[in-house]
Structure 1
């Protein structure tokens, strides 16, 4: 891993740790709410194994997960499209991407994920375009996000969904989500205990 990326990831991991332990007081709408380092390593590994080039991220926050993904695809000249509605987090993410030297690989769409995904579904160019998707947005809409993302994923593509097991407050929503995916004959899925729990789903057809 090159030095600028490593340094930014380390800074963000320290910030996330401080926030989670309540050692710093951060307004609710500015908290990182990032994936864990172990999840970042998992995403990075899957992207490398797939030799992925077209990545979609639903819920960017300050860009920690985005940088983990960018590190894996930058050598392949891969691209990430990421969605975030919080302007403060977008500004922080851009600064992080700049410091990590990955800004050229990332396109940010600012706005509501539901609306932006609807727009993507209307564009022929995005049909089965993405070979990797990370869903890490509001959990009450996670089934809808999956429904909207699936037509955009290529056959053999991977969808990762964060927070399957933790925090506890999301458990009911995520149980419904897991049951819903398992009823879909077009995918195969498992729940991994890595990080906060990751649903790893492959599109079969």
Structure 2
């Protein structure tokens, strides 16, 4: 086991403890970390490597816990994670954590509104998009998410089971798209997966 792996594992464990204690002491949702579970982090790590997702976009950095799981996988396949966050407080927390991780070269932080970023990105910019942000915005973001994912790209959304009612309309919208294959996996707080298999088949048949 490398020293880098041991250092990252120690940091992840530390962030898990911090996230739980911090959130228990803060009732204001905007200041809570709301981190994914370790099980979800491991799941994301495997998904990135299994799909060779070298261009990753995370919407909702928080303190960087989930970003580190994605970046660890990105490092293994020479990929890169772009992560967007609006809260200056969380951006600063994440920056400090990334600096300690030993894998900051595989992470680019973006400060600002996620919709503005999505609108600015060109078509097929990303291989995998991890969605863990303001759930009320997902419906509005969907046309841009659909556009910037490459053919065969993968969308992963957290909280599919823990906040099922809040994301029901979004899941229904994506699942109704004939180009997409979807499923919900009972990992962590529930992960909704969607891949545009239809778009991939079209691009292969047309040579695009």
Q: How high is the TM-score relative to the length of structure 1?
A: 0.89
Q: Is the 8 A contact 2:64 2:98 kept in 1?
A: yes
Aligned equivalents of 2:26 and 2:120: distance in 1?
37
Preserved contact between residue 118 and residue 148 of structure 2 (Cα < 8 Å): no
The equivalent residue for 1:154 is: 150
Who is 1:12 aligned against? 15
- CA distance in 2: counterparts of 1:82 and 1:103, whole angstroms: 12
Match of 1:143 among 128, 136, 139: 139
- Structure 2 distance, partners of 1:163, 1:39, is 10
- 1:133 counterpart = 2:133: no
How much has 1:153 moved relative to structure 2? 0.8
Task: Establish whether residue 172 from structure 1 lines up as the match of residue 165 from structure 2.
Answer: yes
Q: Report the 3-state secondary structure (helix = DSSP H, G, I; strand = E; otherwise coil) of the residue aligned with 1:32.
A: coil
CA-CA distance at 1:203 after TM superposition: 1.4
- Counterpart for residue 92 of structure 1: 93
What is the Cα-based RMSD across aligned positions, in Å?
1.6
Alignment partner of 1:194 is 2:187? yes
Cα pair distance change 1:51/1:19, threshold 3 Å:
same
Farther off after superposition, 82-91 or 172-181? 172-181
Instruction: Return the alpha-carbon distance in structure 1 between the equivalents of residues 120 and 160 of structure 2.
Output: 27
1: CA distance between counterparts of 2:56 and 2:168? 25
Question: 2:81 matched to which residue of 1?
Answer: 80
Distance in structure 2 (CA, Å) of the matches to 1:75 and 1:44: 10
Structure 1 position 144, deviation (Å): 2.0
Residues 135 and 145 in structure 1, CA contact (< 8 A), matched pair in contact too: no
- Structure 1 Cα separation of the partners of residues 166 and 31 of structure 2: 23
Structure 2: 5+ residue stretches without partners: 200-208
- Deviations along 1:121-162, whole A, 9 cap, x unmatched? xxxxx3212111101110111122232111111111111001
Match for residue 176 of structure 2 among 178, 183, 191: 183
